[in-house]
Amino acid sequence: MALKIVKGSIDRMFDKNLQDLVRGIRNHKDDEAKYISTCIDEIKQELKQDNIAVKANAVCKLTYLQMLGYDVSWAAFNIVEVMSSSKFTYKRIGYLAASQCFHESTDVIMLTTNQIRKDLSSPNQYDTGVALTGLSCFVTPDLARDLANDIMTLMSHTKPYIRKKAVLIMYKVFLKYPESLRPAFPRLKEKLEDPDPGVQSAAVNVICELARRNPKNYLSLAPLFFKLMTSSTNNWVLIKIIKLFGALTPLEPRLGKKLIEPLTNLIHSTSAMSLLYECVNTVIAVLISLSSGMPNHSASIQLCVQKLRILIEDSDQNLKYLGLLAMSKILKTHPKSVQSHKDLILQCLDDKDESIRLRALDLLYGMVSKKNLMEIVKKLMLHVDKAEGTTYRDELLTKIIDICSQSNYQYITNFEWYISILVELTRLEGTRHGHLIASQMLDVAIRVKAIRVFAVAQMATLLDNAHLLTGNMQRNGICEVLYAAAWICGEFSEHLENPLQTLEAMLRPKVATLPGHIQAVYVQNAAKLFATVLQSQKDNTDGTTAQETSQLMIDRLPLFVQSANLEVQERASCILQLVKYIQKLQQKEVEVAEEVIALFAGELNPVAPKAQKKVPIPEGLDLDAWINEPPSESESEDEQPKAIFTKEEPKHSRPRHTEVDEKELARRREARKQEQANNPFYIKASPSSQKVYQDTPGVEHIPVVQIDLSVPLKVPGLPMSDQYVKLEEERRQKERADKKKKEKKKKKEKRSGRGKKHDSGPESEEDITPAHMVDIVTEEMPENALPSDEDDKDPNDPHKALDIDLDKPLADSEKLPVRSHRPTEVQKSPDGDAVSTLQEAKRSIKEKKEKKKDKERDRKVRFAFKCHLLSNRISARYASSMTKTSHLKVFNDSYLSFAFGRRAKKRRRRKNTNMKKRGWIYSGISQTSPSSNLKDPVYDIQGNLQDGSQVVVSVIFENKCDSFLKSMEFNVLDSLNSKLQRPEGAGAHDGLTVPFQLPPGVSNEARFVFTVQSIVMPQKLKGTLTFIVKNEDSSTHEKLDFKLHFTCTSYLITTPCYSDAFAKLLESGDLKGSSVKLEGINMPFHHLLARICFHHHFSVVERVDSCASMYSRSIQGHHVCLLVKTSNQTVSIDAKCDEPALLGNVLDEIKQTFSECDCVHG
């Protein structure tokens, strides 16, 4: 023994410690991976040693390697070993490793329950602390359920150190096991008034987190928190409380009103920026929740804005950023207060920190008005020019478009200006947002009818200068604009000044280098232009221009007919044939223009993006039903080119340019207005615009402001939107002047009357009239469209489960589970019951497995639950724990149960082994047992990993009769191989006294250690339990015989194994093979595997289709490898093991399991 220790210590001296490892890694910069893999090999060796110090050192190194990104999950079991060391030094390392490496699907976690429970109740507060800290990182729903009660008790521990940790971890427990919230809440609430400030702040933290998710359940705590807020001086706590109030106020406006005063006081007085920031945020939240427009709160808003201004002006970038962030919250409800700080925000656009600039941009979005839009966008355009880096520039671009297009172009007074901005943006180098610009151009041109003339002219220029956009291949993104330009020019070609020139531009050979979907649009719209040219030449008797145009088309289109893109090809060939035909007709001098233009007649109205979705399905229509026989699957759908906008709809057959007289026009307008009035999705024009609308004879006649000739419309490359800013300024001034004149007149008229005072302050929003009347066409929606989409909450939010009413009194059923032995019901028919428990056991295996399956469907499935045993009379189920002293964790309430004799008393027996190796044993108690009394024994057997020859059997005795049982003595007839360990000095046949007595209905557990020599054979041990049954009047001596069945499977331990290690093992050639065939198994393969895992303690190494490799290890270190294959109800198991006898027995047991299962099935 001494030698062993010496050897261990010497080994240890040569082991690398963590420092050596770190140093080594730093010295092997070139071949780090190789060095680490040798280190891992060493660590594996160290983990095999018995010395816990060596193991802890190895685990510590593994934790370091885990941080570097190496997989250490294979050592999970060793981590548990180190965790359960009795020495704090090692325990600390074990828990640290566990908290770093374990996660919910780590299967050994379930083995830690008892160890953690033990540590939680340790007299040493640091043991408890370390366990709580670790648990907070890897708590699972199972752990939370099993330990909730223990942790709740710790909340009232005498040491504040423990209390505060227990309080904090309760939050994690609630999340994993929501049922614990109600029973634990009263105690948590108590902790708000704990004498220790640490505990108090922990409780505030937890309740704040809880309340943030489900505030309504915590409203009743408001007075308590209010008291805390006004009394506490700890800023950390104050911040949490204030945050909590922020969550509560939306539900209770009165609370908000009460809060304003203390919060503003804090804002005035505090010097801590974090607290100030929190207060400002909460005041904002409060004011948002209060009905807006309460006059007496404008002071608070002003205060907030002032403070935020100070933050933004601060040189500290962090404060600047947060100031802007908070400002944007105020902006939503009180835009006026923020708008007055426009100067400051615009300054921030020059900040060197990009994140600050982006924040400022966000703010600008909300700050624009009709008045300042042009100015702000002008600034932004300057920034676009200056911006370094495409990301920020792209961000600016999208922001400009967002700002302008928000709320249906609400703030745009001059669409010519906007189109110019869009055109300017196309000159941005390397932008990815060509798409966005294109869709804006289309949207504006389609929906703002008045702007079409201008837009078409601009687009024609763009097309003419397309080479500027496409010249550089890197600027590919921007060529999307040409898509829009071509479509606009084609569709609204009647507005083109020189359609022939544009047509020519669209048919240049260079176009063939554009992406296919753009070419397709080019070709299609060339045809529209062609029709327009013909139309314009209609009255020209000469006809040469028309014929030249046809020739141009015929010359250029073949280029597109050869295109590789199907869409382009198809359109081009159709149109080419059409033009050729037209040319023939032209040569015969037939008038064709009317007919050609009729091809493209009708107006395209924009359709709302959601329109299709909103069409209600008529009753009785089943869109999924086949109308005729389903076609064969080989049919493929035609490829559709990606459409850039979804607004296209089938063309109406109504001719576009029919001459209509005034009356007809008026009639139609009336009809349309009627239609619009009935259409809920049509935005009704504001009164002012309606007036103008009525005055003008028709859309085509909307007056368009004369464009200043100094604006170089036709010269691309020069910014021109600036001109509009100037123009707009002049226009507004003029308007103002006009108005003043009018007002003066009015005043003069009225002076004699009431002498009403006129507000002569700065012009308000409403005063700015658009430069020209625009009719923004709303997107069409189907009739009967269903309004509004409901926004769903995320169903996966774990906090949803915590939405629990905490004010209801606790019901008995809600008590936290307290660990106790579960009662077995009195069973009348042993056979029937065995079946039912077995079925229940099976069902829960299935449930467990299915849960798992969901999680890791395609991943390796490893089962950590084990042992289920049955004989024809008995069924039992065990789970095992890893700890020396504590019992198994039992999964299920069905223990091994028997009933015999007339009086149906029960004893339950469960056997539990020590650390690491466990197994199960059959127990058979013959029904012919002479004992007619008492009890149902339940036992569980576990091997001891540290000592390959020890097995611990723990037995639960439960007294089911009405009498008192005492003087119980447990005795087993030893075999050569297995012996009950008796105290020193006791005879080989003496029984062991069970160290307790059993009053009626009480159960208790005793453990007995057996030494086992060989584990290769199963064995049965006969035993007897003697006891005295004491009644009021008499006492009798009773005896109960039983058998303990140590199966070979019970010596196996589920040990995870990786496929590489597994392959090595098989290749080593040390193993001997054997195989077995199971016939008539008709269960799914994964059930089969689960069953083997569960009953026989195997783990799945790898699974491919209907073939799986499995592994297990015996307490004495034998490797057992299985290869399981299935086909047509036949399962063949090829097995290898270094101990053939053990293997044979294990296979027999597996076979038996399946034959029994089938019996039960049948």
Quote the Cα angle for 72-78-81, to 5°. 145
Cα–Cα distance, 1121 to 537 (Å, whole number): 91
* For helices 544-561 and 516-536, angle between their N-to-C axes, nearest 10 degrees: 170
Q: Which is nearer to another protein, 471 or 798 (CB)?
A: 798
Q: List Cβ neighbours of 500 (8 Å cut-off, separation of 6 or more).
A: 533, 545, 549
CB of 664 to another protein, least distance (A): 58
CB of 6 to another protein, least distance (A): 5
Q: What single DSSP character describes residue 448?
A: B
In the region spanning residues 453 to 512, those forming contacts with another protein, defined by CB under 8 A, are none
Q: Which of 133, 975, 1004, 1132 binds another protein (CB under 8 A)?
A: 133
When asked if residue 22 is in the footprint of another protein (CB under 8 A), the reply is yes
> Binding mask 255-274 vs another protein (x if CB under 8 A, - otherwise)?
------------------xx
Q: Which is nearer to another protein, 142 or 1041 (CB)?
A: 142
Q: Of 96, 83, 187, which is closest to residue 134 (Cα–Cα)?
A: 96
Q: Which is nearer to another protein, 124 or 993 (CB)?
A: 124
Q: Which is nearer to another protein, 2 or 709 (CB)?
A: 2
Q: Which of 40, 75, 76, 96 binds another protein (CB under 8 A)?
A: 96
The continuous run of DSSP H or E covering 1137 comes out as strand 1130-1137
CB of 1034 to another protein, least distance (A): 56
Q: How far apart are the first and last CA of the chain?
A: 56
When asked if residue 710 is in the footprint of another protein (CB under 8 A), the reply is no
In the region spanning residues 564 to 623, those forming contacts with another protein, defined by CB under 8 A, are none
Q: Which is nearer to another protein, 356 or 992 (CB)?
A: 356
Cα–Cα distance, 527 to 532 (Å, whole number): 9
CB of 133 to another protein, least distance (A): 5
When asked if residue 857 is in the footprint of another protein (CB under 8 A), the reply is no
Q: Which residues of 385-414 are buried (b: 16+ CB within 10 A; e: fewer)?
A: eebeeeebbbbbbbbbbebbbeeebebbbb
Helix locations, 387-433, DSSP H: 390-409, 415-425
CB of 703 to another protein, least distance (A): 47
When asked if residue 136 is in the footprint of another protein (CB under 8 A), the reply is yes
Coil vs helix vs strand at 632? coil
The continuous run of DSSP H or E covering 1019 comes out as strand 1019-1030
CB of 914 to another protein, least distance (A): 23
Strand partners, 1023: 972, 1042
CB of 137 to another protein, least distance (A): 7
Cα–Cα distance, 310 to 1080 (Å, whole number): 81
In the region spanning residues 162 to 221, those forming contacts with another protein, defined by CB under 8 A, are 164-165, 168-169, 171-172, 197-198, 201-202, 205-206, 209, 212
Q: Which is nearer to another protein, 137 or 512 (CB)?
A: 137
In the region spanning residues 772 to 801, those forming contacts with another protein, defined by CB under 8 A, are none
Q: Of 310, 213, 333, 235, which is closest to residue 279 (Cα–Cα)?
A: 235
Q: Which is nearer to another protein, 36 or 1006 (CB)?
A: 36
Cα dihedral 910, 911, 914, 920, rounded to 10, equals: -110
CB of 739 to another protein, least distance (A): 46
Sign of the C-alpha dihedral computed for residues 109, 112, 116 and 119 taken in this order: negative
Number of CB atoms found within 10 A of residue 1159's CB: 12
Q: List Cβ neighbours of 422 (8 Å cut-off, separation of 6 or more).
A: 401, 437, 440, 441, 444
Size of site (CB under 8 A) for another protein = 72
CB of 808 to another protein, least distance (A): 27
Q: What single DSSP character describes residue 794?
A: P
Q: Name the burial class of residue 933, with classes exposed (0-12), middle (13-18) and buried (19+) by CB atoms within 10 angstroms of its CB.
A: buried
> Binding mask 1031-1050 vs another protein (x if CB under 8 A, - otherwise)?
--------------------
Q: Which is nearer to another protein, 105 or 501 (CB)?
A: 105
Q: Which is nearer to another protein, 59 or 1122 (CB)?
A: 59
CB of 104 to another protein, least distance (A): 5
Cα–Cα distance, 674 to 668 (Å, whole number): 10
Q: Which is nearer to another protein, 99 or 676 (CB)?
A: 99
CB of 54 to another protein, least distance (A): 12
Cα dihedral 818, 819, 820, 825, rounded to 10, equals: 80
CB of 20 to another protein, least distance (A): 10
Coil vs helix vs strand at 102? coil
When asked if residue 250 is in the footprint of another protein (CB under 8 A), the reply is no
Q: Which is nearer to another protein, 357 or 866 (CB)?
A: 357
Q: Which is nearer to another protein, 358 or 955 (CB)?
A: 358
Q: Of 1044, 1046, 1069, 1045, which is closest to residue 1119 (Cα–Cα)?
A: 1069
When asked if residue 363 is in the footprint of another protein (CB under 8 A), the reply is no
Q: Which range of residues in 354-362, 875-883, 917-925, 952-960 is near another protein by CB under 8 A?
A: 354-362
In the region spanning residues 278 to 297, those forming contacts with another protein, defined by CB under 8 A, are 278
CB of 145 to another protein, least distance (A): 16
In the region spanning residues 644 to 673, those forming contacts with another protein, defined by CB under 8 A, are none
Q: Which of 104, 350, 591, 797 binds another protein (CB under 8 A)?
A: 104
Q: Which is nearer to another protein, 197 or 782 (CB)?
A: 197
Q: Which range of residues in 128-136, 498-506, 692-700, 944-952 is near another protein by CB under 8 A?
A: 128-136
When asked if residue 93 is in the footprint of another protein (CB under 8 A), the reply is yes
In the region spanning residues 48 to 87, those forming contacts with another protein, defined by CB under 8 A, are 60, 63-64, 67-69, 71, 73, 87
DSSP secondary structure letters along 601-631: -SPPPPB-TTHHHHSPPPTT--TTS-SSSPP
For residue 1101 the two structure tokens come to: 């190494």
Q: What single DSSP character describes residue 234?
A: -
CB of 860 to another protein, least distance (A): 14
CB of 514 to another protein, least distance (A): 35
Q: Which is nearer to another protein, 126 or 996 (CB)?
A: 126
Alpha-carbon 564 to chain mean position:
43
For residue 744 the two structure tokens come to: 């003066």
Tell me the longest C-alpha to C-alpha distance in the chain. Answer: 136
CB of 235 to another protein, least distance (A): 8
Q: Which is nearer to another protein, 63 or 912 (CB)?
A: 63
Q: Which is nearer to another protein, 202 or 367 (CB)?
A: 202
Q: Which is nearer to another protein, 18 or 1061 (CB)?
A: 18
Cα–Cα distance, 1068 to 1070 (Å, whole number): 6
List C-alpha distances in Å: 972 to 919, 981, 1008, 1045: 18, 10, 10, 12
Q: Which is nearer to another protein, 124 or 829 (CB)?
A: 124
> Binding mask 298-337 vs another protein (x if CB under 8 A, - otherwise)?
-------------------xx-xxx---------------
Cα–Cα distance, 349 to 375 (Å, whole number): 14
In the region spanning residues 1047 to 1076, those forming contacts with another protein, defined by CB under 8 A, are none
